[in-house]
Amino acid sequence: MSVVEDLEALPVFAAATHEQLDQVAKFAEEIDVPAGAELTHEGTYEGTVFVVVKGSVAIERHGHAVNLIRAGDFFGEIEAIDGGPRMATSRAIEDTRVVVVNHRDFNDLIDAVPELREQVMTAMEERLERVDREEG
Amino acid sequence: MAVVEDLEQLPIFAGVGRDQLGTLAKYAEEQQVAAGARLTHEGAYEGPVYIVLDGWFAIERDGRAIDTIGPGGFFGEIAAIDGGPRTATGRALQDARVVVISPRQFNDVLDDAPDLRAIVMAEMERRLAKIDQGD
């Protein structure tokens, strides 16, 4: 299946048009990540957002798991929006397929699709609140 | 595109002058890598440092994946700096393109570019700490 078809199949992108997703897919990469591998690294500056097509990814802060991202969900959006270093390390906990989107393409997409922007902002707020709650 | 232009576009080389990158590029080679190919081999004494231009690599220790390196990232720096055997295997997850730099050239460039040295050393320490933690 092509990258654009993988993206179109995800409910999170339901509000985006084929043309908008095609624009993202043109520069996005799909990678099959083996179980155990890290994808983001807490504290480092990295320019990518990940969408999980299949498999699952653990999100860890200070070495503790704080969240689990499953197929259809995304992670890495916080730094695309705030431009800061990674808040968390992410690790594939099974063989996992992700689509990697760079910050610019991601921001262009959420600017173009208000419904998606709202979903992303809601997820980001929920995740930041969780960090605040757990770390006081 | 010339190697020097590829290198100039990478954020990690932002603090490196064009002359220094030109010197680096003169001795560096671009290499196409087929999906599945291993560029470093855990335990082996082998020199080069790899900078990823396109594609993603899995980093494996004892046959288990521990990390991924994507475009703009680098690997192989630990052995180039400490002269020891490879701490991990780097395997292409898809067709990829890298710049290959000899350890001597790599160390020369680090000596001339303090900003780059700081980035590389910080990343190397982070990776070594993770290996210590995992083993």
Q: Burial-class residue B2 by CB neighbours within 10 Å (0-12, 13-18, 19+).
A: exposed
Q: Residue B133's pLDDT is what?
A: 81
Taking the CA of residue B64 and the nearest CA in chain A, the distance in Å comes to: 7
Q: Residue B1's pLDDT is what?
A: 65
- Helix (H) or strand (E) run with residue A61 in it: strand A56-61
Q: A26-73, pLDDT tens digit by residue?
A: 889 999 999 999 999 999 888 899 999 999 999 999 989 999 999 999
b/e A88-121 (16+ beta carbons within 10 angstroms → b): bbbbbeeebbbbbbbbebbbebbeebeebbebbe
Assigned token pair, A47: 């320019």
Q: A93-136, pLDDT tens digit by residue?
A: 999 999 999 999 999 999 999 999 999 999 999 999 988 888 87
Q: Residue B8's pLDDT is what?
A: 86
Q: Residue B102's pLDDT is what?
A: 93
Q: Residue A100's pLDDT is what?
A: 96
Could you give the CA distance from residue A66 to residue A132 in angstroms, rounded to a whole number? 11
- Which residue of B53, B56, B91, B128 is the best one to mutate when testing the A interface, meaning the one whose CB has the most A CBs within 10 A? B56
Write out the DSSP string of A82-112: H----S-EEEESSSEEEEEEEHHHHHHHHHH
- ipTM value, please give it: 0.80
**Whether this model's pTM surpasses 0.95:** no
B128 touches chain A (CB under 8 A): no
DSSP state, B55? S
Which stretches in chain B have pLDDT values below 70?
1
Could you give the CA distance from residue A127 to residue B14 in angstroms, rounded to a whole number? 32
Using CB atoms, pick whichever of A34, A41, A43 lies closest to residue B65. Answer: A34
Using CB atoms, pick whichever of B60, B93, B123 lies closest to residue A31. Answer: B93
Verify whether the Cβ–Cβ distance B93 to A32 is below 8 Å.
yes
Backbone angles phi, psi at B21, to 5 degrees: -65, -35
Q: Which of A83, A85, A82, A31 shows the shortest CA–CA distance to A61?
A: A85
Contacts of B94 in chain A (CB under 8 A): 29, 31-32
The pLDDT confidence band at residue A7, using thresholds 50, 70 and 90, is very high
Residue B114 CB coordination number (10 Å)? 11
Q: Residue A68 pairs with which residues in a beta bridge?
A: A58
Assigned token pair, A37: 């591998």
Could you give the CA distance from residue B111 to residue B117 in angstroms, rounded to a whole number? 7
- Helix (H) or strand (E) run with residue B10 in it: none
DSSP state, A55? S
Contacts of A31 in chain B (CB under 8 A): 56, 68, 70, 93-94
